[in-house]
Chains A and B, each alone.
Chain A
Amino acid sequence: MKKGTLKQILLITDGCSNKGEDPSVTATFAHEQGIAVNVIGVLDDDQTEEPEGFQEVEDIANSGGGLSQIVYKQALSQTVQMVTKQTMTQTIQGFVNQELKQILGPEQNLEEIEPDKRGEIMEVVEDMGETCDLEVLILVDTSASMHDKLPTVKEAITDLSVSLNARIGRNRFSIYHFPGKRKDIQKVLDWSPKLDSISNVFPKLTSGGITPTGPAIREAVYQFGKKSLLRSLRDEDEPGMEEARH
């Protein structure tokens, strides 16, 4: 079987968009191009209720074929890695279910199979999740209200690379924030296998007043076709370049 590459956008935000096209629409486009969109909504520690507009968090993920979760700051690290991994499993399971339908007929999916026989199928799904390559573009909302949450976001992102770099498959991460100075999104870190170099970059992020979530997702999708990603993947194919291991 050919080893595939899973593509994900991980959007970290604390509110709803107020500029540009509907983010659910751009998330649908992303999904149609094989990129799953996960959304994590971050609450302040003293927020007891979900603020208005947080429905959008769930809507974007639903349209983008990903998962959404609303969390307090301190739960961010664990949530980020769980959402990313669960979405990988979900995407792979989606492929496997399609294959099953081709072999066994249109009505077949995992739940229709006897529990005793599910085991082998899930073993394949797990194997694929462990060994496939993964590209994650992290999209951080840096509108004004996110300002005091950025240190936690940074920690969560570093922690994500600890989790994912324990996998057998290769990873590529890149980080963008929005709104950018003159553009919808601004590059923080270009495609790279590790995320331990972000400490210096993060404090410099400036916060703005608008939240163009829709356009940001649209721009993020383009970054998956960029030459820098292809180059970084090709470099890694050279022997001895596999630094993520050992």
Chain B
Amino acid sequence: MKMNQAWKKQGINIRPGTVITGKWHRKRYVIKRRLGRGAVGTVYLCEQNGRYAALKISENAASMTVEVNVLKSLGKVQGNRLGPSLLDVDDWEVSADAKYAFYVMEYLDGKPLQAFIKRHGQEWVGAFMLQLLGDLEHLHKAGWVFGDFKPENLIVVPSPPKVRWIDVGGTTKIGRSIKEYTEFYDRGYWGMGSRRAEPSYDLFALAMIFLTIYYPTRFEKGPNPKATLFKKLNNVQQLHIYRHCLKKALLGHYQSSAQMRKEILEAIHNAKTNAKTARRHTGTRSAAPPSNRSTWKEGGGIMLLAIVFYLSSLLLPY
């Protein structure tokens, strides 16, 4: 059966230099290199009339159509570029029995989230949280849930740095069952909720995305998954100002991204105020007693100040 074949051989290998001509719209795409492989299909960098684009191709026309539907719907969410924009949808007929469906989208060139933060500093963590929550709010308001929210589906594009979504294949209508997920970021896997598409599903995954930055090799679920998650979260000093918010997201206590975004902003603001007070203390008294706040005992003060200064400049446009 046809679908059976598609299921097994999910990856297609197309050599660089291959020219793909669409059966319906007759556009020519020159394959440059492979960018990645998703649950459905393979993504290639291609060139058409001197412009780069990303081309996703698969034997499974049905699944590709579903993804195109999502991209089209996201394109209709006004004023916000939620996914890459869709440029073309077509078929590639190699021979009578080798047919592939493909679509072409905007090519987003950037760095993975983790690499960017490693290179440019922790202060970006809060900024990216706010960006992602803002975009999620628009997506949820439009009636969708991202579903397969994970670092591999995000990329940071430069000038100005912005996290963009590159694979929206798991995007599911609110109220339905999540179409596609990755276990580590799935609250069902952790026993922390259902696989019904609702805003809190994405917020759980968002918390996991930021946790993964500090656990690049991920970690085991253990006999008590919930306790494992909280322990891992508590162990990351860099996340301590967001700890309360991230915990609430893991527990599914946020009904909307807007609500979480507001509390993240507050957390950042509070950290800033505390940092100022701390600075005043150390400035006036040379032998200032250590503050009661447990957060200061761990000596992240200077870094936190840096975060706060950076963020306060970023927050202006919001």
> Which residues of A are in contact with B by a Cβ distance under 8 Å?
61-62, 65, 67-69, 77-78, 86, 89-90, 93, 110-111, 114-116, 118-119, 121-123, 125-126, 130, 159, 162-168
Contacts and interface: CB of A to CB of B under 8 A. Distances in A.
B250 interface: no
B36 interface: no
Given A69-B7, A130-B176, 11 more contacts: A68-B4, A89-B62, A115-B24, A115-B68, A115-B101, A122-B69, A130-B177, A163-B178, A163-B188, A166-B176, A168-B176
B189 A67 contact: no
A169 B239 CA distance: 40
Given A78-B183, A115-B90, A163 B195 contact: yes
A159 B66 CA distance: 24
A119 B72 contact: yes
A119 B68 contact: yes
A62 B72 CA distance: 34
**A interface secondary structure, majority:** helix
Contacts of B1: 62, 65, 90
Contact of A166 (B24, B101, B177): B177
Interface in B165-197: 175-178, 183, 188-189, 194-197
B61 A118 contact: yes
B269 to A, nearest CB: 37
Given A67-B3, A162-B188, A167 B176 contact: yes
**B interface secondary structure, majority:** mixed
Interface in B1-42: 1, 3-4, 7-8, 24
B195 A86 contact: no
B177 A67 contact: no
B64 to A, nearest CB: 8
25 contacts: A62-B1, A62-B4, A67-B3, A67-B7, A68-B4, A69-B7, A77-B183, A86-B3, A86-B7, A90-B1, A93-B62, A115-B65, A115-B103, A116-B89, A118-B65, A118-B68, A122-B62, A125-B62, A130-B176, A162-B188, A162-B194, A163-B188, A163-B195, A165-B194, A166-B197
Contact of A159 (B101, B175, B188): B188
B66 A122 contact: yes
Contacts, number: 79
Contacts of A125: 62
Interface in B57-84: 61-62, 65-66, 68-69, 72
Contacts of B177: 130, 163-164, 166-168
Given A68-B4, A166-B177, A111 B65 contact: no
Contacts of B247: none
Contacts of A162: 188, 194-195
Given A110-B61, A115-B65, A122-B65, A168 B3 contact: no
B7 A123 contact: no
Contacts of B111: none
Contacts of A116: 89
B99 interface: yes
Contact of B178 (A68, A126, A166): A166
Contacts of A93: 3, 62
A123 B69 CA distance: 8
A170 to B, nearest CB: 13
Contacts of B72: 119
Contact of B4 (A67, A77, A122): A67
Given A77-B183, A110-B61, A119-B65, A166 B196 contact: yes
Contacts of A130: 176-177
Contacts of A159: 188-189
Contacts of A121: 65
Nearest 6 pairs of A and B residues by beta carbon:
A166-B177, A166-B195, A122-B65, A115-B89, A166-B196, A118-B65
